[in-house]
Structures are given as structure tokens and as C-alpha cells.
Amino acid sequence: MRIITGTARGTKLVTLEGEATRPTIDKVKEALFSMIQFDLEGRTILDLFAGSGQLGLEALSRGAAKATFIDESRQTVDVIIDNAKKTHLFEKCRISTSGAIPFLKSAAGREKYDIVFLDPPYDSDLLAQSLKQMSDGGILAPGAIIVCECDTDIVSRRSKVKKDEEASAERVLEEVFGGDEDTMAKYTLERTAVYGRTRITLLTLAENEDEENG
């Protein structure tokens, strides 16, 4: 696992062994950052389920101004600190040990982020919970982009039927929002795509919600 491009290009990152973290593979990470490459310069980043910190550090390497890394494991936070130092990006980082939802509640009304990475464990409902809390909590800056990573059982993009299926609102509702139509209605779906068994989805707040949060 490495930083793909930018000031820390090629730096190899440390990750915990076993199932404590699930790093985003390079192919998916390259696709993800190609979607937001022109939105990073000078931005404030939140890497909420940070793991090794690779998404937030990649963003910093590509020109983001500062990043907050949150993970509930003290051991994992130590890995993030090590990686931030290896990439020479530590001074741009705030790294904290906390559960995602408690952090979002504590940050409500106090902090604003331009880009949020949400890559929670696939066997949890934390993605949907986080999206609900963020829409209610006012932590998103005007025009903020939320990058969601989740599992999907769509395994092929070879046919138009599969492409239509992976982009369907019903699929996004279930896989990203956990079936919560009220929360989904608070967001605008900017883009969604499937890479292997991973869905990457870009969201922004719906216009009326963005005005309220601004």
C-alpha cells in the first residue's frame, strides 16, 4: 500500500495485519481520486474510519490543506501517526481516537469539512448512521463532497444491464443508506460506480440542506 501521487508519491504505508482494518486497494483508490482530483487543492478533509490513514494522506499529498483522522482503535491511531510522519505530512494532520458517531456528534456546530471519506467496516450499518448524523449535524462546508465506500454484490460491468443496475437509486438506497429514504433525500447523488465488489459513491448535500448547513 502506497501513496499514488503528489508530494508523498511512492511512500509505502504501514497497515495492521488481520481484520482490524480493510485497506482500500490501489485500483479502487486510483478510481476514487480520479473522481475528485480537481476538488482537493486547499480543502479540509475528514477521514472518519481512517484505518491506516491512506485516504486522508493521499488527499494531503495531492494538495489538501489539512486533514482530521478518526479511528476508534488506539493501535490503529498509532499506525496513522507513523504513516503521517513517513509521508512528511504530520503537521497537516489532526489524529484522534474516537468512535465515528460520537465524533460526529461532538463536532456538530463546531467544525466544517470540505471532503469526507467514509469507509466503515462492510458488515456494519455505520455508513448509513454517519450520513444521517452528518446531514443533521452541520459539519459539512458549502459544496462539501462525501466519498462513500461500501460492499456490493454486483460483480460485473460487462453489460448495459449491469451498468444500469449499479447506478440504480434502489441499489444506492440499500447499499449506501441502509434503506433510509429520509436520509437519502437529504443528499444529491453525484456519481456511483462499482469496482469489483466495491461501490464508490460521491454525494453532496441536497440544495436546501446545503443552505441550512452553510
More confident residue, 127 or 22: 127
Residues sharing a CB contact under 8 Å with residue 3, sequence separation 6 or more, in sequence order: 9, 10, 11, 13, 54, 57, 58, 61, 87
More confident residue, 93 or 109: 93
Q: Taking residues 93-118, what's their average pLDDT?
A: 95
Rounded to an integer, what distance in angstroms lies between the CA atom of residue 159 and that of residue 211? 39
Sequence ranges of the domains in the chain: 41-201
What pLDDT, on the 0 to 100 scale, is given for residue 109? 87
| Domain 41-201 annotated CATH 3.50.50.60 | no
Q: At what angle do helices 126-137 and 100-107 cross, to 10 degrees?
A: 0
Please determine, for residue 209, whether its predicted confidence score (pLDDT) is greater than 80: no
The pLDDT tens digits for 58-87 are: 999 999 999 999 999 999 999 999 999 999
Tell me the three cell numbers of residue 193.
Answer: 460506480
Instruction: State the average pLDDT for the chain.
Output: 89
pLDDT grade for 112, boundaries at 50, 70 and 90: very high
pLDDT grade for 138, boundaries at 50, 70 and 90: confident
Rounded to an integer, what distance in angstroms lies between the CA atom of residue 64 and that of residue 39? 9
The pLDDT tens digits for 5-42 are: 999 999 999 987 654 455 677 888 999 999 999 999 99
Query: Under a CB-based contact definition with an 8 Å cutoff, are residues 161 and 128 in contact?
Result: no
pTM for the full predicted model: 0.91
